[in-house]
Structure 1
C-alpha cells in the first residue's frame, strides 16, 4: 500500500496522522473533494478534476474522434457565424474564455474580430493553459494574451480592461451541460455580472437521438474510457492513492428523463482503496459518478439565460441541429 500525503483541510484517520503534509493548494482541494466523494452515498465528484495535463491531452484526442460530433460541429458553426459575431462584438473587444483548454476554437474569433484588445483565457489546468497561451502569442503577435489559472465556476475578479471595446465572454463546448441546473444558473448569473455591457458566446449541445449520444461517449478506441480512468490515475500521482485502474470500468449512458449523459467508474470487484491516508471499501458494482453532460433545447437554453439576467440574441445551429451557438447580451 502506498504512503499517502494528507492534503490540508481533511480530518485524517489515525493511520494518516503522521504522514507528511506536502500537498499544494490544488492537491488540497482535489484531496478534500475525493475523500468527501468516497465517504458519501451515492459517490460523485466534480468533472473539473479530469483536467490535469494528461486529462487535457486525452480530451484533445476525444475531440478528434469520429464518434465525437460536438467539437467539429461547433467549429463548423463558428466558422459560418464568425463574421456576424465580430459585427455584434464591435472593435477592440476583450475576449474572456471560461475553461479555455487548448484554445483551438477561440482562434476563429480572434481572426474574425476587429482588432481585439486582449484575450483572457481561464482554466484550472495551469501547465496546459500556459503552453497553449505561449503558442497563441506567437500566432497573434499584436494581441495581449493574459492567461488566468483559476476555477471559473467560482466568483472571478478579472483585471480591468484598458481598451474601449466590449467584454465578450466565450464558453464553447457545451461545458455548461456539466453543471447541475442550479449550478448552470449560478454560473450564468456570475458571467452576466463579469460581462456587464458586453455579451456571452455560448455553445450548447442539443437533445438528439440517444444512439448518437451513446456512441459519442463510448468510442471504439477507448479514449473516453482512458479519460475517465485518468481521474483515478491522477489521484495515485498527486495524492498517493492506490487505485488499481483495471479494477474499474468506464460506464456512460444517456439518462433520457433527465436529458443528460452520465459517466461513472464502476468497481469490477470488492476492493479496498486508500486516499489521503483514509481507507475505503468499494463493493462490486458500486460507482463513482464522474460527470453529467446535460443536453438542451434551444428554447430551454434561452429561458435559462433570461433567468440569469442575459437578453438572448441570435442563435446558430448546424443543418442536423446537433449543436447550437448563442449570442447572449449582458445588460
Structure 2
C-alpha cells in the first residue's frame, strides 16, 4: 500500500485521499484545503466583495466586543480555533485585557507567521501557538493551565461539519476549555427575508475566481505532496445551495473523462462526476441556540447585522451557569 515518507500529517492526507477517491461519491475532507497556499487563498477570499461573512462578522465584533468583555471579565486566556491570520483577534484581545493568546491552526508555517505578526502588535501578551487539527484531540499549552479561558471560533468554520459532528466538536470545546469558560462563535445564517440564495452562492463562487483557485489548490496539493498525476485542467469549481440539507456544497467537477493516480490509487472519473470537497451548513438563530444547549453550552447573547446574514454568539459553559 502507498505510504508516503514524511510527517504524520502527510500520511493522514494520503489515507484520506485514497479512501475518499474510491467512494461512490468521491470526497476529500475540507481540512486539507489549508496548506500554506490554501491558507493564503482563503485569506484572499475573505477580502472579496462577494464574501460578506468576514466583513459582517468583523463589524459585529467591533460593535459588541465591549459588551462581550464586560460579560466575560478580564484576565482570560483566549484560545482561537482555526486562527488563520488572526485578523479579527485584536478586536477581542484589547477590551478583554487577555492574559494569554493560544492560536490553534493546522497550517504550521502560516500559524508561525501570523503569531509573529500578532506578537509585534501585542508585545506584552504571552502567545502560545499550537499546530493541530482542532477537530481532533489536542492539548493546551501548560503555560495557561491556571488561567480562566475563553474560546474564539470565528468565520462560521463550524459549518464545515454535519450537524451531529458539529455538536460533538462543540462538546469537545466544552471539555477542553472547562468549567467557567466562555465561547464566542460566529455562525453564518440561512437564507431568509434579508439574505437571498444568490447572495449566499456568490460568496462561494466569486467573479474573480479566487474561490475556484482555492478549491482547485486541493488538487495541486495532491500532486505536490502525494506524487499524483491529476490534470488540473480536467476539473472545474462548483458551489450550490442545497436547501434540503441546509448547506452550501463545493465540488470539483470533471469537465471530461479523466484518469489519474493519487496516493497510490488509480482513479477514473466520467465527465460530470464530482469530488465533494466542502459543506458549509447555515443555521437560523433558534437552531444555533438549540445546538449550544445540545453541546454543553448556555446561549447568553447573540448579535446580527440588519440583513440577518451573520450572527456572533456568546455562550457560557454549562457548569451551573445562569440560565437566560
TM range (shorter): over 0.9
Is the partner of 1:39 in helix, strand or coil?
A: coil
Q: Which residue of 2 aligns with 1:277?
A: 264
Match of 1:180 among 149, 154, 162: 162
Match of 1:35 in 2: 18
Instruction: Spell out structure 1 runs of 4+ moving beyond 3 A.
Output: 160-165
CA drift at 1:165: 4.7
- Paired position in structure 2 for 1:84: 67
Q: Deviations over 1:60-89 (max 9, x none)?
A: 110010011000000000000010111122
Deviations 1:181-205 (A, max 9, x none): 1110110000111122111101000
Q: Is the 8 A contact 1:314 1:327 kept in 2?
A: yes
Match 1:327 to one of 303, 314, 321: 314
Q: 2:85·2:114 contact (CA, 8 Å) conserved in 1?
A: yes
Q: CA deviation at 1:145?
A: 0.5
User: Is residue 295 of structure 2 the alignment partner of residue 308 of structure 1?
Assistant: yes
Alignment of 1:64-143 (within 5 A): 64-114=47-97, 116-143=98-125
Cα RMSD, aligned residues only: 1.3
Q: TM-score, normalised by structure 1?
A: 0.92
Counterpart in 2 of 1:292?
A: 279
Render the CA deviation track for 1:28-47: whole Å, top value 9, x for unaligned.
01110001111111111211
Following superposition, the deviation at residue 320 of structure 1 comes to 1.0
Say which SS state the counterpart of residue 94 (structure 2) adopts: helix
Q: Distance in 1 between matches of 2:295 and 2:89?
A: 24
Q: Report how far residue 268 of structure 1 moved.
A: 0.8
Using the TM superposition, give the Cα deviation of residue 159 of structure 1 relative to its aligned residue in structure 2, in angstroms: 2.4
**Separation in 2, partners of 1:119, 1:24:** 27
Determine the structure 2 residue equivalent to 1:144.
126
Gaps of 5+ in 1: 1-10, 13-19
Cα drift, residue 24 of structure 1: 2.0
